[in-house]
Structure 1
């Protein structure tokens, strides 16, 4: 494959971002890195990113996902599809990234993403 697959964290599905943040930030003491309204937040869990995703941001509703950064989401999805991997979500433009979702051989979800600024450089915005 021509893409480098880099594990960047774990996405946990949540129904209420404020309630989830109260637990992970206030109870566990993890540091909030980024929040996008009631949609999404990422926290530093001691060197591992934990993303909290409301239903609108979940690649497959109600299922956790590994967050894997790639250079070009569209190319990665084509290569993975050609290799027989199940594509759960074709590439779409999100508010901050181009993303897609695949399923591993055990049924786990992997969310592939490229930040929008990197996608614009590689031409990956035309999905």
Structure 2
């Protein structure tokens, strides 16, 4: 299991307005997928915005890994609850729950080949 990148994901009801604000503040986005998703790489930090591609309104931590299945096996064997992977347009991802009291979660993902 190798972690390749960590970033924060923030939900946005108006993705184009949020992208416009961040563009004015930190520069052009690295990636935009319509009204679904946008991301900005600033220094060593990736800021990700979830437009229509989100499950809820809670910010979460996104962790890019080289092998999603191995990572999920490791986390589950360590006692953490992880959902079954979902396939998105650009990635396979799974939600890992910290505990029942913590409102935010971690999304572990790997890019599609």
Query: Residue 34 of structure 1 aligns with which residue?
Result: 31
**TM-score, normalised relative to structure 1:** 0.76
User: What is the distance in 1 between the residues matched to 2:88 and 2:59?
Assistant: 18
Deviation at 1:41, TM superposition (A): 0.5
Deviation at 1:73, TM superposition (A): 1.3
Distance 1:47 1:5, change over 3 A: closer
Contact preservation (8 Å) 1:70, 1:114 = yes
Decide which structure has greater helix share: 1
Query: Residue 109 of structure 1 aligns with which residue?
Result: 105
Is 1:46 matched with 2:43?
yes
Q: State the superposition RMSD in angstroms.
A: 1.9
CA distances 1:35-85 after superposition (whole Å, capped 9, x unpaired): 111100001233311010114x22x41111212111221232232122211
Show structure 1 runs of 5+ residues with no match: 118-127
Deviation at 1:101, TM superposition (A): 1.4
Show structure 2 runs of 5+ residues with no match: none
CA distances 1:64-111 after superposition (whole Å, capped 9, x unpaired): 121211122123223212221122x42111100111111235723111
Aligned pairs for 1:8-23 (under 5 A) are 8-23=6-21
> Which has the higher mean CA deviation after the structures are superposed, 78-87 or 91-100?
78-87
Is 1:91 matched with 2:85?
yes
**Pairs aligned (count):** 111
